[in-house]
Structure 1
Amino acid sequence: MTRISGRIVTPGAVVPGHLDLDGGRIAAIVPDDTVGDDVIVPGFVDLHCHGGGGHTFTTGSVAAAHGAAAFHLGHGTTTMLASLVSSPFELMRSATASFRPLVDEGVLAGVHFEGPYLSAVRCGAQNPAYLRDPVPAEIVELIKIGEGAVRMMTVAPELPGALEAIALLRDHGVLAAIGHTDATYDQTHAGVAAGATVATHLFNGMRPPHHREPGPVVGLLSSSVACELIADGIHLHPGMLAFAAGSVGPDRAVLITDAMDATGMPDGRYELGGQEVVVADRVARLAEGGSIAGSTLTMDVAVRNAVAAGVSLTDAARMASTTPARLLGLADRGALAPGLRADLVVLDDGLRLKHVMRAGERI
């Protein structure tokens, strides 16, 4: 039996006490007012990450995927999807086949395709050379190759064939996300009606709201979908982060990193989806055009930034762990409660990372 002490952040409260761990599971939460100032939160679940620590998921390299997953595990992400960017179909196929064993091993929770079925008008740092309208045969083949590894795909709902693609993803148990879109309010709601359940990095890569045409941002906020939020202080102003999180609540708001391989690395020149990226003072931008190109964020910093923006600690933990775990159907993790897997992150009283445990093993 292992005992971890501190202020335990459960889905509904912060409980001073001890977590008793047994065999990789949480055995009990024992209240005790005499514990110190450490904060214990559930292991983070990142739905949207392209890499980190100098390693990328976007090329389909198994070695690089191991490196990126290990880097983010060291920052508290105990469950993650490997996000690719818009690519030729051959790369999408090979990456799916390469990452499937990593999903079987538990290194990854699955694959997220951010593209290529995205709007050229709102492509951001997605490579326009690879954008195209949805192809149902491609989607079916990827799902077949993945054998459960393909967990999410981002689609712009206004494209020809997009609603059918969203319904196809839904019918195969894959999360359909709306993002990189120039859709109208009505087109956005049509995507949700077709089966979309996630908004890819809300606000970013989307037509801005207007009082006469609310567009995708208001369409998504006013729907039932889960909304990804990049809490790096760059993609979203802290006030906008707090507004969005408060609007949809912690059961729909999801903290993500959208991190690229430059995360945790020095400033300099990097590559994303065949395009050069320049990183300076934490900000990643395309060398040509200047669009923000992913982030250099880790989930521990995202939680700290969310709390600094005014999100409660319990809500931030739900946004970083509980809600994304539920979206992935992972009922064995995402919260601190007896019987669940002992994935946890210990933070100091300033919410800075001290150590990580995954399935009861200290990282």
Structure 2
Amino acid sequence: MQTKMQTIEGNVLTADGWIAGTISFADKIEEIQGSEVDPRSNNAAYILPGFIDLHVHGAGGKDTMEAGDAVQVISRMHAQHGTTSMLATTMTAPMSDLEAALQALAGVCQQRTAGSARVLGVHLEGPYINPGKLGAQPDFAHAGSLEQVKYLDAIAPIKLITLAPEVEGNLAMVSQLTALGMRVQLGHTLGTYEDGVAALENGASSFTHLYNAMSRLDHRAPGMVGAALAHANFAEIIPDLLHVHPGAIKAAMRAIPKVYCVTDSTSASGMPDGEYMLGRQVVHKCLGGVRLADGTLAGSTLTMDQALRNLVKIGLELDDASKRVSTYAADFLGLSDRGRLQVNAYADLVVLDRDLNLVAVYIEGEKIELKDA
């Protein structure tokens, strides 16, 4: 996608800190000029790295598992909220459903369409999870299969897999998956602290929606949460302030160096209250959340711009919050050319006013037309 050279100015959060100046870019950043600044000393706009969301099930009434054109709708909607790249996330489901979803994702992963976030690949959330800790996942969980993963990866690139390490055969598969270049997260698990530590030693590197759908921390049975807090370098968390209390968010960020934020967004994101689908499950959007009929939280309606505002609301400095909605997710995937504003990185950036509302979004240099702008 051809993009012309553009220059914008403001308080630019570079990889080395804040400057007051300009950033020039086409599809990649060509030049950043300016002088060091405390952005609180002026009223200029903030220019931050575009948001990266590694856990996206849906938006705009569409769910990844629907296949068809669902991911185009989803990626366009999230681009409207500053997400410049994302992983399309599947649900625990029969193999035929997973095949159909990945076949629909294959072309989108290869070619970004105008107005859409870059789909970096697939986050396979299950089916290799514990059937006793499904959360909002449908009951199609089963033990892991390396052959099955390879088959699906040949359809569309799998970048991240969530699994439960205590399920028979899954621990051995962790090292095999990491050898293939995939990231492994621990989640939807009843595993012990020891199970978590063993999985980390075998190559697992993060935790899926930390605290949610995993064995809890107790002082005599630290559980999977304890393994994360004691040993992890990365973990994803949902900062909608419904899934996790602000105090627990802060505790995680104090213990785990690179906690990054995800939306775990559903088809209900950006839609009015009502009934929606999450894989094969009917979910209900009401009171700002998404739940199953029994009240279980089932993903969220969060967007990444709101995630940023929520982090600042609970006391994080803007530069720290920015890393947690962008840079750390890129680091987790091993991407040095996204999630940071520096020369030769992709021109993925957001411009925010002083109230942290989106003013502009650029994806690989393309300015996205914001519907409410």
TM-score by length of 2: 0.91
Correspondence 1:270 to 2:276: yes
Task: Tell me, in whole angstroms, the C-alpha distance in 2 between the residues paired with 1:225 and 1:191.
Answer: 14
Correspondence 1:127 to 2:133: no
- Which residue does the alignment assign to 2:345? 340
Q: Which amino acid aligns with 2:321?
A: A
Q: Deviations over 1:70-128 (max 9, x none)?
A: 00011111100000110101121222232121111134100111111111222110012
- Which residue does the alignment assign to 2:98? 92
Q: Secondary structure at the match of 1:192?
A: helix
Q: Secondary structure at the match of 1:212?
A: coil
With over 3 angstroms needed to count, the CA separation of the structure-2 counterparts of 1:355 and 1:305, relative to structure 1, is same
Q: Secondary structure at the match of 2:23?
A: strand
Q: Which amino acid aligns with 1:13?
A: G
Supply the RMSD in Å over aligned alpha carbons: 1.6
Q: Secondary structure at the match of 1:245?
A: helix
Q: Which amino acid aligns with 2:151?
A: E
Contact 2:28-2:344 at 8 Å conserved across structures: no
Correspondence 1:248 to 2:256: yes
1:196 to 191, 195, 204: 204
Task: Tell me, in whole angstroms, the C-alpha distance in 2 between the residues paired with 1:295 and 1:153.
Answer: 20
Deviation at 1:35, TM superposition (A): 6.5
Contact 2:63-2:277 at 8 Å conserved across structures: no
Correspondence 1:317 to 2:322: yes
With over 3 angstroms needed to count, the CA separation of the structure-2 counterparts of 1:32 and 1:140, relative to structure 1, is closer
Task: Tell me, in whole angstroms, the C-alpha distance in 2 between the residues paired with 1:16 and 1:278.
Answer: 45
Q: Which amino acid aligns with 1:135?
A: S
Correspondence 1:70 to 2:76: yes
Q: Deviations over 1:233-286 (max 9, x none)?
A: 10011121122112223xx21110000010010011111121111110211000
Of 48-57 and 136-145, the range deviating more from structure 2: 136-145
1:279 to 285, 309, 312: 285
Q: How many positions carry a matched residue from both structures?
A: 356
With over 3 angstroms needed to count, the CA separation of the structure-2 counterparts of 1:324 and 1:119, relative to structure 1, is same
- Which residue does the alignment assign to 2:67? 60
Greater than 6 Å deviation, 4+ residue runs:
32-35
Deviation at 1:229, TM superposition (A): 0.9
1:137 to 147, 150, 175: 147
Task: Tell me, in whole angstroms, the C-alpha distance in 2 between the residues paired with 1:297 and 1:188.
Answer: 28
Q: Secondary structure at the match of 1:121?
A: helix
Contact 2:21-2:32 at 8 Å conserved across structures: no
- Which residue does the alignment assign to 2:229? 221
- Which residue does the alignment assign to 1:9? 13
Task: Tell me, in whole angstroms, the C-alpha distance in 1 between the residues paired with 2:36 and 2:144.
Answer: 55
Deviation at 1:327, TM superposition (A): 2.0
Give aligned-pair identity as a percent: 37
- Which residue does the alignment assign to 1:30? 34
Task: Tell me, in whole angstroms, the C-alpha distance in 2 between the residues paired with 1:275 and 1:360.
Answer: 38
Task: Tell me, in whole angstroms, the C-alpha distance in 1 between the residues paired with 2:154 and 2:70.
Answer: 24
Contact 1:10-1:314 at 8 Å conserved across structures: no
- The answer for unaligned runs of 5 or more in structure 2 is 113-117, 369-373
Task: Tell me, in whole angstroms, the C-alpha distance in 2 between the residues paired with 1:225 and 1:180.
Answer: 19
- The answer for unaligned runs of 5 or more in structure 1 is none
